[in-house]
Amino acid sequence: MDLVATVLEKPRRKIDPEQRRAEIMQAAFSCFAERGFAGTRMEDVAAKAGIAKGTVYLHFPDKEALFISLVSGVASPILDQVGAAVEQQAMPPRQMLEMFYRLFQQEVLDTERRHLLRLIIGEGSSFPAVTEYYHREIISNGIRILRILLERAASAGSLRNPAIVETPQLIMAPALMTIIWRSLFEAYEHLDADRLFANFLDTLFLPEKGETP
Amino acid sequence: MDLVATVLEKPRRKIDPEQRRAEIMQAAFSCFAERGFAGTRMEDVAAKAGIAKGTVYLHFPDKEALFISLVSGVASPILDQVGAAVEQQAMPPRQMLEMFYRLFQQEVLDTERRHLLRLIIGEGSSFPAVTEYYHREIISNGIRILRILLERAASAGSLRNPAIVETPQLIMAPALMTIIWRSLFEAYEHLDADRLFANFLDTLFLPEKGETP
Amino acid sequence: MDLVATVLEKPRRKIDPEQRRAEIMQAAFSCFAERGFAGTRMEDVAAKAGIAKGTVYLHFPDKEALFISLVSGVASPILDQVGAAVEQQAMPPRQMLEMFYRLFQQEVLDTERRHLLRLIIGEGSSFPAVTEYYHREIISNGIRILRILLERAASAGSLRNPAIVETPQLIMAPALMTIIWRSLFEAYEHLDADRLFANFLDTLFLPEKGETP
Amino acid sequence: MDLVATVLEKPRRKIDPEQRRAEIMQAAFSCFAERGFAGTRMEDVAAKAGIAKGTVYLHFPDKEALFISLVSGVASPILDQVGAAVEQQAMPPRQMLEMFYRLFQQEVLDTERRHLLRLIIGEGSSFPAVTEYYHREIISNGIRILRILLERAASAGSLRNPAIVETPQLIMAPALMTIIWRSLFEAYEHLDADRLFANFLDTLFLPEKGETP
DNA sequence: GATGAATGAGATTTCATTCAT
DNA sequence: TATGAATGAAATCTCATTCAT
């Protein structure tokens, strides 16, 4: 048995620590996404990364640190792009929101990353460090950008109800809905996210001249 | 000595099984809500219910069964009420949605029950039986009611964008948003749910005559 | 395999918690004495006590607590007896010290308890709570009793060097020496503790009249 | 990139193996002294020696070998000096013991080396090779020297109780006492080692003529 | 029915040791 | 020779579940 093990054990690789770290996070992401924090065993992560249990601990002090660095490490290129567009007033507000939802679908909802968002929604309240980070780095910035965008739309007179400037969270709500629906109910009933977003935008904005309302 | 102990030990209560079961579920709810499925120990539940560990197993075969019967057992008096109102056309659609959001706040968002919803969002995907039940018993029914309601509003010409009849999930989105926000970010930034819902309704519906648009 | 295990597993006993606790401490004592703190596995303790791993944790929160309660629980009947004798001036100082060393031999050096003392000497510095307890409960009291005893001997003019009243620790030194010698070197060279103590006392005290000096 | 790294990485020193070995032992000593055998990680030793983990294994086959060669490698310059003095009858016995205790304080008790002695006392019984070595190389020699010294003192009529020639271990006892006290109780109560040794010697030896008894 | 001591599989984490570079 | 990433056996501790009382 020992002999077999010795013969079969795969050769030890010594790779770039950054890459190894990334591999572990990749594996961890897939495990956490599938089974949540508690349901994931460090051994699973290691196995998925193709390394030994102990190796994970060379890169992350413990399970929680791995989880936190996983969910915290997710930058928000979407927000950055929308933020940049808003900054330079690249396009009219409605187009910007269209871009936002389109990016959200392409980059989050239709990729594995949607699991990450679900993870945060589901496990966040057990990790205040995570929610604090999220609020500070992502949410408050997102709210700020959305508010600017909505204000601009309001000034331009293109909003049906300018008061929603007060609650930019409303813009995020349909996005969260699609994430949650897809995780929980998509198997039983399809939700057409494209249409959901389109309908929402049509509700938000006055029709352009020449459009059929 | 044993005799004394026997005499002194508090009498074993023999209460109505239904009530005992309800007590356990109540205790379990509070524990699961606070710490999630994996974070809850059966002993905690028993302690909270004021009974011994083993007793829980007289009423539920295992932890998962307890969890499932907990999250499944939550009826939806809100939907029932709204459903009834819709059924009998008791009031105009906008008032019905106002009632829906008000009930949601009173009965869910501002009570411990909001944790239950968060639980389902967070742990649901590990318990297909739960999501299946939810979809079948609650969601599909809710969607149906909302669709009827929106159709009626559309017919009455009170919707700014009648197309949202296609995606009644949009109505739920702000409610989910408040649940999630309150769980994760309320500590860092307050979200005014009243205003959120009001703004949303004002966006959805055309202003009544005499209202300031 | 499962079948065999099921059949072979010994019946669960439910015994008096105090007794169970005592059994565990007994087992722990034997393990710690033999292999020290770090060298002892909780599983060994459990096995020696004839119980399952987890059962130990029903009685002690962790390994350190088990160790501490083990070494702290050792009262010092020796000191109590000598203390009582000193209190009531039951016999002349020299006889009291003879009694002290004799009790030490009977109750500690020649029993398994000597390992306990060695444990404290060896591991004590890793457990400040233990040394603090020892100093407070045993050492300072012992020093006090020995000082009284030596003062009385000095007053009676029976000490060869009355100055040792200042350093009662000298009285303990030969006792420690026997413990250490027995643990480390007895296998290679016998140390006659009787004679060691007798010679020490003869050095300390002037010969009685009629004795051959 | 690799090239740069290769060029920039600090040159691997290739120093005298004897010196490297000594450095490792020095580092190991400090670690073992502070945290005992089990509490010391090989990595700590390497770090303290300023080398990589693997390098330790080029000089010592395993942890136990390192420990053993550490505690065994400690020669006893004290004994050598006293031994030499005894050999050449350089001074009267009492002065020799004074020198012994003084050297013990200067070279052991008041230096880091006291930890070594404590280590041997504490861990010795797990390493028979160590105690065997100690007895053979140091203890038996020490006992022999002390016995010669005491015999000479007895012949000279300067001992209060010539019988202690039979148990030269008594001479070591106060030294052990100071080591143990300092490790365990010094924080709570100071022990004046000077006075302890002086009082002991005054008890052992008859006062010189002209001294105040 | 009710209890809670007991179980033991299983999870996390550590660290002596190896070996490719 | 020196390195330190990688390994994996082993240790601690947890907790769902059982069952004698």
Q: How far apart are CA B172 and CA A173, in angstroms?
A: 9
Could you report the per-residue pLDDT of B3-29, keeping only the tens digit for each? Answer: 444 444 444 556 787 889 999 999 999
- Least Cα distance to B135 among B88, B169, B111, B85 occurs for B169
For A194, name the nearest residue in chain B, comparing CA atoms only: B167
Among B188, B198, B202, beta carbon nearest to A132: B188
Q: Which D positions 147-206 lie with beta carbon below 8 A of chain C?
A: 160-161, 163-164, 166-167, 169-170, 172-174, 176-177, 180-181, 183-185, 187-189, 191-192, 195-196, 198-200, 202-204
For A38, name the nearest residue in chain B, comparing CA atoms only: B38
Q: What is the CATH number of domain A2-71?
A: 1.10.10.60
Could you report the per-residue pLDDT of C96-106, keeping only the tens digit for each? Answer: 999 999 999 99
Going residue by residue through chain A (213 aa), what tens digit of pLDDT does each one get? Answer: 333 334 444 545 667 878 899 999 999 999 998 888 999 999 999 999 999 999 999 999 999 999 998 888 666 677 788 888 888 988 999 999 999 999 999 989 998 888 888 888 888 888 888 899 889 888 999 999 999 999 999 999 999 999 999 999 999 999 999 999 999 999 999 999 999 999 999 999 998 765 554
For A179, name the nearest residue in chain B, comparing CA atoms only: B121
CB-count burial class (<10 Å; 0-12, 13-18, 19+) for C125: buried
DSSP string, A111-171: STHHHHHHHHHHHGGG-HHHHHHHIIIIIHHHHHHHHHHHHHHHHTT-BS-GGGGG-THHH
Q: How far apart are CA B130 and CA D47, in angstroms?
A: 53
Q: How far apart are CA B136 and CA A187, in angstroms?
A: 12
Q: Which amino acid is at A27?
A: A
Cα of D101 to nearest chain C Cα, Å: 14
- At residue C159, the 3 state secondary structure works out as strand
Mean pLDDT across B100-118: 90
Could you report the per-residue pLDDT of A149-170, keeping only the tens digit for each? Answer: 999 999 999 999 999 999 999 9
Mean pLDDT across D40-62: 95
Check: CB of residue B78 under 8 Å from CB of residue B104. yes
Cα of D185 to nearest chain C Cα, Å: 7
Of residues 11 to 40 in chain D, which lie within 7 A of strand E by their beta carbon?
40
Q: How far apart are CA D157 and CA C201, in angstroms?
A: 19
Indicate the helix (H) or strand (E) that contains C55. Answer: helix C53-59
Q: What is the CATH number of domain B2-72?
A: 1.10.10.60
- At residue B205, the 3 state secondary structure works out as strand
Structure-token match 């002037």, residue found: C206
Indicate the helix (H) or strand (E) that contains B186. Answer: none
- Touch between A and B (at least 3 CB pairs under 8 Å): yes
Q: How far is the CA of B41 from the C1' of F15 (A)?
A: 7
Q: How far apart are CA C116 and CA D1, in angstroms?
A: 59
Phi-psi region of B148 (alpha: psi -120 to 50; beta: other; left: phi over 0): alpha
Q: Do D183 and C124 touch (CB under 8 A)?
A: yes
> Is some CB atom of chain C closer than 8 A to the CB atom of D92?
no
Q: Do B123 and A36 touch (CB under 8 A)?
A: yes
Token code pair at residue C157: 């003019």
- Name the architecture of domain D2-69: Orthogonal Bundle (1.10)
Q: What is the CATH number of domain C2-70?
A: 1.10.10.60
Confidence (pLDDT) at D212? 53
Nucleotides in chain E with any atom closer than 7 Å to protein CB? 1-21
DSSP string, A33-49: HHHHHHH--HHHHHHHH
Confidence (pLDDT) at D5? 44
Among B128, B136, B203, beta carbon nearest to A203: B203
Q: How far apart are CA D17 and CA D166, in angstroms?
A: 46
